[in-house]
Amino acid sequence: MLATNIQTQNRAIRLIMDLRTKGIQDTNVLGALERVPREHFIPEAMMDQAYEDIAVPIGLGQTISQPFIVAKMTEALELNDRHKVLEIGTGTGYQACVLSKICRRVYTIERHKPLHQYAEENFRALELRNITALCADGMKGWPKINGIDQAPFDRIIVTAAAREKPPAALLDQLAVGGIMIAPVGEAGSQVLKRYKKESEDTYSFYDVMPVRFVPLLPDVATEEESREIA
């Protein structure tokens, strides 16, 4: 067991060094990735790839993003410990956990109930108490719950690709001065974009890099669509 733990630590350290060489400079981001055990979020059959810089399938047609993309998106958010962040697309919870190590509070939405449950188990196992997860339609943003509205959010991160632009509901829930990072475009021509809300009705944006994400879809997935994770 000790040897296994040392091997895992060495792989994690090598990954962080690799991310540095690829241009990730924010020490808070690198520190967060180093402290989140990626093996918790990977299917057992793929465990040997937990610390490779690659995307890994997690079932239901979804993937856990490669660490470089997680780091790049997190870095682009320019986070600090006062920020409240909305994430669309929880998956198994890896990105949310990375965010939780840097910001004050994370609210995350997943449309697949089995993935939502998987993520919540991870949050409990890692004793992360500043994450609130919901199984819902992420394209509608965070709903009012018991009359309480959590919007606006200081930062929003979307981990599935919108066709032309992020949903209006998400842009509406971004605070003035806030930043959203989201992939946009059809398969094969997606671009990661960084939006900044300059006023209530104006935004600036620029392209960060080409990416490949699953499409952003509406509604909560049906039971047929959300079969148990293999």
The two tokens of residue 123 are 């949050």
Q: Write down how long the chain is.
A: 230
pLDDT in tens, the chain (230 residues): 444 578 888 899 999 999 999 999 999 999 999 999 999 999 988 888 999 999 999 988 899 999 999 999 999 999 999 999 999 999 999 999 999 999 999 999 999 999 999 999 999 999 999 999 999 999 999 999 989 999 999 999 999 999 999 999 999 999 999 999 999 999 889 999 999 999 999 999 999 999 999 999 999 998 877 664 44
CB contact at 8 A, 113 and 196: no
Global pTM value: 0.94
State how far the Cα of 17 lies from the Cα of 227, in Å rounded to an integer: 37
Per-residue model confidence (pLDDT) at position 5: 78
Q: Is 65 a catalytic residue?
A: yes
State how far the Cα of 101 lies from the Cα of 136, in Å rounded to an integer: 24
- Direct distance between the N- and C-terminal alpha carbons of the chain, in angstroms, rounded to an integer: 26
Per-residue model confidence (pLDDT) at position 29: 98
The two tokens of residue 71 are 């780091």
Per-residue model confidence (pLDDT) at position 223: 80
Q: Give 105's strand partners.
A: 84
Per-residue model confidence (pLDDT) at position 4: 54
Domains, the chain, ordered by start = 67-210 (3.40.50.150)
State how far the Cα of 128 lies from the Cα of 148, in Å rounded to an integer: 22
Per-residue model confidence (pLDDT) at position 226: 63
CB within 8 Å of 205: residues ≥ 6 apart: 193, 194, 195, 196
Catalytic residue among 65, 100, 199, 204: 65
Angle at CA of residue 151, ends 147 and 157, nearest 5°: 135
